[in-house]
Amino acid sequence: MENKSAYVLVVDDMAINRSILSSMLSSFGVNSDLAGSAAECLDCCRKRHYDLILLDHRMPEVDGVDTLVHLKELFRRDGTDTPVICHTAESAKDNVNLYKAAGFADVLLKPVNPEDLSRILMTYLPEGAVEGVRHAEQRKDIDQQLSFLPVWLKSVPKLDLRSGIEHCGDAEDYLQSLEIFVTSIHEKAEEIDTYCRNGNWSMYSLRTHSLKSMAELIGAKELAGEAAKLEYLSRQGETCDLPALTRELLLHYRTFEPLQTSFKKVEEPVVPEPEAFKDPADFKTILFVEGTQGMVNKGIINKLEEVGFRIIRIPDDPAEILEHRHDADFWLYYPAGDTEHIRLISSHLTELSEDDNRVLCLVGDALDIAEAKKIHNPERYKAEYARPIDMAEFVKDMLSFSSIQYESSRTKTIFLIDDDPDFLAVTERWLRDKYRVKTFRSGSEVLFYLKSSVPDLILLDYIMPGMDGFETMQQIRQIPRAHDVPIVFLTGQRDRENVMKILEKKPDGYLLKSMPKDALMDSLDRLFRDLVIKNNTLK
C-alpha cells in the first residue's frame, strides 16, 4: 500500500509563527493546516484527522492548556488520540515537565530548531508517515545527480558534493552555483583581507557572513565553519586573534580558486521572455460534471454563458473526468442518482482537484450534496449551492473564483535584495524559471525603483551595510503604493537571539539562506497561494 504523507495542524495566534512552521514542515515532506485560535483549531479537528498537533501555549482568549482540554474531549468522543505538542517560547523551557503533566505529549521550543522539529516528527508521527520510501527516493535522486557531475570535481578535497546537490536541487544548478563561487574568490578574499587590516570589523563581519552562506550552499562545510567563527568573533569585538585566523581562512578559501580553469567560458544562458499577458477572460472555462440533466442544469449554463463563461459538459463518469480534467480552470459537480456512485465520483473529483489545484464546487439537490460530502476530504469543495439556487449570488461567486484562478496563474514579480552579488546570482537563477526577478544590492536601490514599479513580493536580506533590512522594510512600508507588498527576510541569521530580533520587526515571513532550493520554492509557492486566498476570499 502506498504511504500517505502526514498531516499536522499548526495552532498559533501569530501568522508569522504559523508560516515558519509550515515552511519547515514542508521541507520534511509533511502537509500542514494552520489555525490562529482555539476555535479554529477545534473546527479543523472536527473536519479532519491529524497525525500530530503543534499547539501554541500562550494565545489570547483561550490558552493552550484549555484548548488541550477541549481537544481531549473531542478525541474521546471520536475514539482518537492525536499527540499534541506544546509549542512555546524559549523562556518556558524550565516548565517542560509542567506542560507534560498538563497532558501535552512533548514540548517544542520557539524559535524552532529544525533538528528539534525532526525529532518530534520522527517520535510522534505514525510509522511510515514521514515516508521512508520518499527519503530513499531522495537519496536515489541525489546519487543520480552526483553521477552527472564531471569526474574532476569528485576528487576536489573539502567539498561535500552531496550536501551541495541537496541545497541546489540538481547537478546543473550546483555547477552554476559553484562557478559563481569560485570566480569571485580573488575579489572577495581581497575585500576580507583589506577590512581585516584596516580594522573595519563591521564590513568584515558582513563579508565573512556572506562567505559562510555561499560556502554552505556549495558544500564547503569546513570553510563555512571557519567563516562563521570569524564572523562571530568580529561581532563580539574579540578581534585580537583575527589577523592570524583570517590568514588561515583565506589560505583555505583560495585553495578553491584553481577550479576556475575547469569551467569553460560559455555564453550566459538566454532567460526566456516572461509569458504573454493573460487576460482574466482566459480563466472562465468551467468543467460541468453532471449526474443528471434537466431544466436546472440548463438554467445554470445559460446564466454562466451570459457573463462570458464557456461550459464543458460531461457525464459523471471517471473516464470522462480524467479525459477533460485539464480542459477547464475550475469544476462544478451536480451529484445525482445512487448514493454509492455519488460518493465515488465525489472522492474522484476531490482527489484530482487537489492534484491539479482546481477550484471545485457543488450544485444540486441538498440531499445529494450531503451525500457528496460524506468523504474523507469534503473541505476540497469551496462552495455549495442547493436548490433553489440564488442565481445572482451563484454567478457572482463563479466570477470571484475566476479571478482567483487568474491570480494564481499570473507570473509573479519578486524583488530580491542582498549586498552579496554571488548570493543574488545564485538565487536569481533558482527563481527566474518561475518568477520575474529583479535584483538589488542595497535598500536605497530598491527604494528608488519602487517609485516606478511594485512587485508581488520582496525578499530582503537582514544584515546589509548602510541601510539594514529592518530600516529598508520601514522605508518601504512608508511608500503608499508599496505599503501592502509582503516582505520576507531571506537571511543567514539562524541563532535564537537573532531570530527573535528579526521576528520582533514583524516581517511577513522569515526564510533561511541555507534552505535547499526545493524548500525555498515550496515556501514561496505556499506564500503566494495564501495571499491569493486572503485577497480573494468570497464575501
Model confidence at 250, pLDDT cuts 50, 70, 90, reads very high
Res 339: pLDDT? 93
Three-state SS at 299? helix
Residues 6+ apart with CB under 8 A from 309: 284, 285, 286, 398, 402
Tell whether the model's pLDDT for residue 532 goes beyond 70: no
Res 132: pLDDT? 44
* Correct CATH for 280-409 of 3.40.50.2300, 3.20.20.210, 3.40.50.300, 3.30.300.10: 3.40.50.2300
Give pLDDT tens digits for 32-88: 899 989 999 999 999 888 999 999 887 878 888 889 999 998 988 888 888 999 888
Domain 7-130 has CATH 3.40.50.2300: yes
Q: Which amino acid is at 117?
A: L
Model confidence at 127, pLDDT cuts 50, 70, 90, reads low
User: What average pLDDT does the segment 263-272 reach?
Assistant: 48
Res 266: pLDDT? 40
Domain 146-266 has CATH 1.20.120: yes
Model confidence at 169, pLDDT cuts 50, 70, 90, reads confident
Tell whether the model's pLDDT for residue 481 goes beyond 70: yes
Write the secondary structure of 148-168 as one string of H (helix), E (strand) and C (coil). Answer: CCCHHHHHCCCCCHHHHHHHH
Contact 411, 437 (CB under 8 A): no
Q: How many CB atoms are located within 10 Å of the residue 328 CB? A: 23
Q: Of the spans 2-16, 183-197, 438-452, which averages the highest pLDDT?
A: 183-197
Q: How far apart are CA 33 and CA 50, in angstroms?
A: 9
Q: Which residue has the higher pLDDT, 415 or 132?
A: 415
Give pLDDT tens digits for 388-413: 999 999 999 888 888 776 666 678 89
Q: Where are the domains of the chain?
A: 7-130, 146-266, 280-409, 413-535
Please report how many Cα atoms fall inside a 13 Å half-sphere around the Cα of residue 297, on the Cβ side: 18
Largest Cα separation within the chain, whole Å, is: 87
Count the helix, strand and coil residues of the chain and give each as a percent rounded to the nearest 5: 55, 15, 30
Laid out side by side, the sheet with 413-417 consists of: 436-440, 413-417, 457-460, 487-491, 509-512
Give pLDDT tens digits for 300-347: 999 999 998 999 999 999 889 989 988 887 899 999 999 999 999 999
- Strand pairing of 310-315 and 330-334? unpaired
Distances, alpha carbon 202 to alpha carbons 95, 209, 428, in Å? 39, 11, 26
Tell whether the model's pLDDT for residue 123 goes beyond 50: yes
User: What average pLDDT does the segment 411-425 reach?
Assistant: 91
Tell whether the model's pLDDT for residue 279 goes beyond 50: no
Report the percent of the chain where pLDDT is more than 70: 86
| Residue 196: φ, ψ to 5° | -65, -50
Res 268: pLDDT? 43
Res 138: pLDDT? 61
Res 94: pLDDT? 54
Tell whether the model's pLDDT for residue 2 goes beyond 90: no
List the one residue out of 94, 74, 73, 71 whose CA is nearest residue 85.
Answer: 71
User: What average pLDDT does the segment 502-526 reach?
Assistant: 79
Distances, alpha carbon 117 to alpha carbons 22, 81, 134, 278, 471, in Å? 11, 20, 18, 41, 32
State the average pLDDT for the chain: 84
Which neighbouring-strand residues pair with 160?
none
Tell whether the model's pLDDT for residue 434 goes beyond 70: yes
| Residue 52: φ, ψ to 5° | -160, 145
Tell whether the model's pLDDT for residue 15 goes beyond 50: yes
Res 409: pLDDT? 67
User: What average pLDDT does the segment 467-483 reach?
Assistant: 89
Tell whether the model's pLDDT for residue 160 goes beyond 80: yes
Res 377: pLDDT? 77
Give pLDDT tens digits for 86-101: 888 755 555 666 777 7
Same fold, 146-266 and 280-409: no
- Grid cell, residue 397, equals 461567486
CATH of domain 413-535: 3.40.50.2300
Res 278: pLDDT? 45
Residues 6+ apart with CB under 8 A from 206: 419, 463, 464, 465
Tell whether the model's pLDDT for residue 516 goes beyond 70: yes
